[in-house]
């Protein structure tokens, strides 16, 4: 048992007292992943607040910037965390902010393409270096070998979890 206890240790202890028949070992990993994701999301939203966007909106902008071309909303949803409805909401907010345009897809008049505006490109290019540095500071609680090991373990899990059924 580690010298320091976190909230997950407390949750497992509570369940062990209440339901000693239940093996709560999965909470050990999944509970920590979910808590870490929430902490990281909140930190990223705080860093981006001065830019007027959330981390989820920045993810849309970043995906468009990396693609270098317009993408259909469905393609954006596939590349980020969230539902089609959440993607649509983000796109509407980004259109209103002048960061993206939504235009008919010339290859399919029934579909739309979402493209970065010049302001969207400039925002991503300005914010990305600051975001990467902030993430570097957060990740620095682990040494280089630990970061590589964690990245590898998470890659393995995500490949399995995101694989088509």
What is the tens place of the pLDDT at every residue in 27-77? 999 999 999 999 998 998 898 998 999 999 999 999 999 999 999 998 898
1-26 b/e (C-beta count within 10 Å ≥ 16 → b)? eeeeeeebbeebeeeeeeeeeeeeee
Per the CB < 8 A criterion, the answer to whether 11 and 19 are in contact is no
**CA-to-CA separations, 144 to 121, 131, 156, in angstroms, rounded:** 32, 19, 18
DSSP state of 104: E
* CATH 1.10.10.10 at 7-161, yes or no: yes
Provide the pLDDT for residue 109. Answer: 76
pTM score of the predicted model: 0.83
């Amino acid at each position: 048992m580690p010298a320091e206890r976190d909230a997950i240790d407390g949750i497992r202890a509570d369940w062990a007292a209440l339901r000693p028949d239940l093996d709560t070992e999965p909470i050990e990993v999944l509970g920590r992943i979910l808590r870490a994701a929430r902490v990281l999301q909140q930190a990223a939203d705080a860093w981006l607040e001065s830019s007027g966007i959330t981390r989820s909106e920045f993810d849309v902008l970043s995906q468009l910037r990396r693609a270098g071309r317009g993408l259909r909303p469905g393609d954006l949803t596939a590349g980020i965390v969230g539902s089609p409805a959440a993607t649509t909401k983000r796109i509407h907010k980004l259109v209103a902010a002048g960061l993206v345009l939504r235009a008919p897809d010339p290859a399919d008049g029934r579909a739309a393409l979402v493209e970065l505006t010049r302001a969207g490109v400039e925002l991503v290019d300005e914010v990305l270096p600051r975001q990467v540095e902030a993430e570097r500071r957060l990740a620095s609680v682990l040494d280089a070998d630990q970061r590589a090991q964690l990245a590898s373990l998470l890659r393995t899990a995500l490949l399995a979890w995101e694989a088509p059924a």
